[in-house]
Amino acid sequence: MVVDLAEEKGKEVAKLVGGYFVRADLAIPRDCRKAVERTIDRFGTVDILVNNAGFQHIDNIVDFPEVTWDRMMAVMLNAPFLLTKHVWRFMASKRWGRIVNISSVHGLVASSSKCAYVAAKHGLIGLTKVAALEGGPLGITVNAICPAYVRTDLVETQIDDQARVHNLAPDQVVQKVFLERVAVKRLIEPNEVASLVCYICSEEASAISGSALTIDLGWTAS
């Protein structure tokens, strides 16, 4: 089940993966419930929940005040909590479930001008740990994945913005701004994160729970 505000793109993704689409604004609690209810109506249960909702615009609320503290917390922290709450009993009844929270390297370390984003992603790791403790006896594993910069539409927009601010070419922005702190000097591809999600949801990963798994190009190694 693909859940998003962008209906056209959401339907394209759902068709691509052989799934179904639900339009929902996960900043609104009733839409979180609706997303789960529609999933239950369609499939009868929930096996896996991947909390991956975010924004298409830069996360600096100082420069972009339309993305407020409250809305960022609603999408990146409240929604994962509510979706977890709503799917919990279905997973518990089968004594099997996988919940994967897409946090960020900024769930582990801080950067300036990202107060709301860093706070939300740190909070998501805390939620992950508590849910893992409660889910363990029920056969539910809960983990967080913490990527560095992934080649997404959001990052591409940030590259263009930073190129204008610093008067640099886009490739120079990637090397001098985005990859300054990392050991592996390239952006992460979306399929690399997806592959880690698939592994965490497999039986081979059933002993992994409560973890914040980094895919951060060596950012946190220093």
Q: What is the DSSP string of 9-53?
A: HHHHHHHHHT--EEE--TTSHHHHHHHHHHHHHHHSS--EEEE--
Would you please indicate which residues are annotated as catalytic (active-site) residues? Answer: 117
Burial letters for 4-21: b for 16+ Cβ neighbours within 10 Å, e otherwise?
Answer: beeeeebbeebeeeeebb
Instruction: Decide: 76 and 26 in contact? Cβ < 8 Å.
Output: no
